[in-house]
Amino acid sequence: MNIQHKIRRILSFLNKTYGARPPFKKTDPIDELVRTILSQNTTDKNSLKAYAVLKINLKSWDELLKTHTRRIAQLIRHAGLANIKADRIKSVLTEIKKREGRLNLANLTRLDIEAALDYLRSLKGVGPKTAACVLLFSFGKPIMPVDTHIFRVTKRLGLVPEEYNIEEAHKRLSAIVPKDLIYQFHLGIIEHGRKTCIAQTPKCGVCCVYRLCKFKKKAFYRKKELCR
Ligand code: SF4
């Protein structure tokens, strides 16, 4: 089975199991950038709470630039690492304003994926996942953001070689997932990672992609060897 066919089959099983995903709707790039920075090293629940508090308390992102970093940290405390994230968000937005003359990333629309990635990665504190989230969710560019769930599950499914690091996984998945399926595949794998293919205790016995999984087979043979 070729890799793209395998990806289509995996997605079809995920869709049957977890239901239809919300239709693609572009987000504001600055919102996406801030939201993704807040999501680093914490749960969605905590980062979304921090983001909501920030939005309620600030009239605009321009106002954030005039707000003391200590106050920003206080507002985003639910996301954890508040001092680091407050400093990161403020310096990223300050740099965008300096380069663009306003808090707007509309210029990225005109760039190809590599150039847009380079632009975002050149902002201090913006890693491959954050950059890819902005390009996929705000500009609809076909690039796969790789978070901890996607990194783990796609390796188990044999889509990413085990020895690959996160940067290599980004490149590999962006290249092999059919462009029109990246958004759906991204959401589907994350949901699978949260609900079934859990880090320490994957529920292989009830997994919808069990037959397509390399990790499951390995675990099975390893167990058999141990029983000899
Ligand atoms: S079979 Fe197990 S390891 Fe493989 S994808 Fe399913 S839950 Fe994850």
Express each pLDDT in 124-151 by its tens digit. Answer: 989 999 999 999 999 999 999 999 999 9
The one-character DSSP state at 28 is P
Within 10 Å of residue 70's Cβ, how many Cβ atoms? 10
Q: Which of 209, 214, 220 to mutate to test the pocket of ligand 1 (most atoms within 8 A of CB)?
A: 209
Q: What pLDDT band is residue 219 in, cutting at 50, 70 and 90?
A: low
For ligand 1, whether the C-beta of 13 sits within 6 Å is no
Q: What is the location of CATH 1.10.340.30 in the chain? A: 29-139
* Ligand 1 atom closest to Cα of residue 213: 4
For ligand 1, whether the C-beta of 213 sits within 6 Å is yes
SS (H, E, C) 133-190: HHHHHHHCCCCCCCCHHHHHHHHHCCCCCCCCCHHHHHHHHHHHCCHHHHHHHHHHHH
Q: Check if 55 is active-site.
A: no
**pLDDT of the residue at 24:** 87
User: What's the chain's length in residues?
Assistant: 228
**pLDDT of the residue at 138:** 97
| Domain covering 3-18+145-221 in this structure, CATH number | 1.10.1670.10
Q: What is the mean pLDDT of residues 149-161?
A: 96
Q: Which of 10, 210, 221 to mutate to test the pocket of ligand 1 (most atoms within 8 A of CB)?
A: 210
CB 107 within 8 A of CB 98: no
What distance in angstroms lies between residue 148's CA and the mean position of ligand 1's atoms? 15
pLDDT digits (tens, 9 = 90+) for 179-191: 999 999 999 999 9
The proportion of the chain whose per-residue pLDDT surpasses 70, expressed as a percent, equals 94
Phi-psi category of residue 23: left, alpha or beta, with phi > 0 → left and psi -120 to 50 → alpha: beta
| Domain covering 29-139 in this structure, CATH number | 1.10.340.30
Q: Look-up: residue for tokens 């997932």?
A: 177
CB 142 within 8 A of CB 113: yes
Q: Which of 16, 26, 98, 129 is catalytic?
A: 129
Distance in angstroms (rounded) separating the CA atoms of residues 15 and 184: 9
Q: Of 4-8, 62-66, 217-221, 224-228, give the lowest mean pLDDT range.
A: 224-228
For ligand 1, whether the C-beta of 204 sits within 6 Å is yes
Q: What is the mean pLDDT of residues 33-44?
A: 93
pLDDT digits (tens, 9 = 90+) for 53-97: 999 999 999 999 999 999 999 999 999 999 999 999 999 999 999
Q: Closest Cα to atom 2, ligand 1: which residue? A: 204
Q: What pLDDT band is residue 218 in, cutting at 50, 70 and 90?
A: low
The proportion of the chain whose per-residue pLDDT surpasses 90, expressed as a percent, equals 88
Q: What pLDDT band is residue 1 in, cutting at 50, 70 and 90?
A: confident
Q: Nearest to residue 174, comparing CAs of 209, 211, 214, 128?
A: 128
Q: What pLDDT band is residue 12 in, cutting at 50, 70 and 90?
A: very high
**pLDDT of the residue at 227:** 35
